[in-house]
Chain A
Amino acid sequence: MLPSNELVHLHLLLNHFPTVGLIVAVGMFVMAILRQSEELKQGSLAIMFAIALVALATYMTGYSAEKSLKNVAGVSQEIIDLHQRAALLALVLMEVTGVAAWFGLYSAHRGRLTRTHTTAMLVLSFATIGVMTGVANIGGYIRHPEILASPAAVPTSMFAPAWLDSRFITQYQYDHAWAWKSLESLHFMGLCLLFGVVTVVNTRLLGWLPNAPLDGMRKLLPWGVLGFGANTVTGMLFFIGQAFQYIENPAFHAKMLCILLAGADVLYLTWNHDVWNLEPGQTPPTAVKLLAASQVALWIGVIYFGRMLPYIGDAF
């Protein structure tokens, strides 16, 4: 289990990835367009996808940071709430950008990124940078009153409407029992879709479905991403509504670590275009087989630690 002050450190470290990191990635993307370099474009898309994964952890560790500042003199809960609301909007934009970046890498297998996709990436990533910069700016005020115009001034942000407050989601989940049940049902459907695709594709990579061509198997990947997307949305709604039941749960930490590592595996395999050109009967190199095996193990780990949430630690 990670001690809570380590989680606060983690928040202060990770917040640089969706802010500074994203600006660097988008700068690379623009440079790639100007230099007409497909390789560089794909490299920047890969970084954007990785940042979208890290942003999940950045958002979640924010609740540990909030808790650590409870009752600390000179810290305004109002500014923390403002930071959190804007962060939720930025997270949504970042995840949409991440999914779009993944589809860019996926379709780049055919050669190059289409003009429409390139434009969409520019619009999404610039919008994300805009909101994310606002989040970072408000975040800075939390512990640095010296940069506020006056000690009592609370910064405002048009990106932090009141209805984005996590307390509304908590209240809604409590008032409407069907909401939680529906989210759980969707979460289990997403699990089945994702795990089904993971099982079939990695079984092929490991050589047990030798007659299936990999360019056909590749077509299953968006369905796996759909399952993962459904579970990210439903899972984040569980988390946002009940954050303080999760943040100190060791099973939850383990689950998130497994998800991030499995996501890195997915990124590597999607981008490794050579793998998907293998003909029926051919098996990939040992390194790819090891990745495939690790990916199955990691997703089983995600299910294990997810199922253990009420049993390891004292959440729920």
Chain B
Amino acid sequence: MDAFLVWLQNLPPFLWVAESDSIWGYAFLLFVHAIGMGLTAGLALVISLRLLGVGTSIPVSSLRPLFGLFWIGFSLNFVSGSVLFATNATGHAHVLMMYVKLLLLALGLVVTRRLRVFVDGSTSDGIVPPSVRTTAVVCIAIWLSVIVAGRMIAYAVESAGASLTPADPAHMASLR
């Protein structure tokens, strides 16, 4: 397994992303990953809020096109996330938080899929049943957990600049 991970992270494109100082390498992937996060988690949050009663005059069926945007966001993150993983495959593969996030992500997709079944169904413009409302609450909780788990990976794996860390107060005083 480790042999594969080493081979993966030594492939020229991943090696370039990991080692280049270019703004279009690692930094740009992190930016793409943030936009994808905003689209997937953000749209899942808004759709859940509507099902919970925010903006009741919006017909639920009118929100169907948003799932297209959701999948654009997911695709961005599938690609950027895979490359980010590969740039330090041996590091990421040995971090528990990585698997926690992937598990939560899988749950998030399952729950969002359940909401979509309702939104795409013929009864979506009627009263939102309690079971769907419960699913919407679970959906919000899971996507927020995915965000936190993702943020924690940056601390568990050493990756320059992926997380900003507070400075030593003495250093801050010297900058003052």
**B164: A residues at CB distance < 8 A:** 184, 238, 309-310, 315-316
Q: How large is the interface on B (under 10, 10 to 19, 20 to 34, 35 or more residues)?
A: 35 or more
Cβ distance A29 to chain B, nearest Cβ, rounded Å:
30
Partner of A307, one of B34, B49, B144: B34
Known: A216-B56, A216-B58. A192 touches B42 (CB 8 A): yes
Q: Is B126 an interface residue (CB 8 A)?
A: no
Q: How many A-B residue pairs have CB under 8 A?
A: 154
Query: CB-CB contacts of A297-316 with B at 8 A, as 1s and 0s?
Result: 00010011011111110011
Instruction: Give bound CA distance, A203 to B160, whole Å.
Output: 35
- The reply to whether A244 and B42 form a contact with Cβ atoms under 8 Å apart is no
Instruction: Give bound CA distance, A211 to B56, whole Å.
Output: 13
Q: Is A199 an interface residue (CB 8 A)?
A: yes
- The reply to whether B56 and A185 form a contact with Cβ atoms under 8 Å apart is no
- The reply to whether B34 and A242 form a contact with Cβ atoms under 8 Å apart is no
Cβ distance A62 to chain B, nearest Cβ, rounded Å:
12
Closest to B176 in A: A244
- Interface of B, secondary structure class, is helix
Known: A67-B176, A310-B161, A311-B161. A220 touches B55 (CB 8 A): yes
Query: CB-CB contacts of B61-105 with A at 8 A, as 1s and 0s?
Result: 111011001000000000000000000000000000000000000
Instruction: Give bound CA distance, A223 to B48, whole Å.
Output: 12
Instruction: Give bound CA distance, A197 to B48, whole Å.
Output: 12
Partner of A308, one of B27, B44, B148: B27
Known: A174-B166, A192-B143. A213 touches B57 (CB 8 A): yes
Instruction: Give bound CA distance, A21 to B85, whole Å.
Output: 51
Cβ distance A225 to chain B, nearest Cβ, rounded Å:
13
- The reply to whether A316 and B161 form a contact with Cβ atoms under 8 Å apart is yes
Closest to A182 in B: B148
Residue contacts A-B, CB under 8 angstroms, 9 given: A170-B166, A174-B166, A188-B147, A191-B34, A199-B69, A280-B62, A303-B31, A304-B31, A309-B164
Known A-B contacts: A174-B166, A199-B42, A241-B172. Give 18 more (CB < 8 A): A67-B176, A180-B166, A185-B152, A188-B34, A188-B148, A192-B37, A192-B41, A192-B143, A193-B45, A196-B46, A212-B59, A216-B55, A216-B56, A223-B49, A300-B35, A303-B31, A311-B27, A315-B164
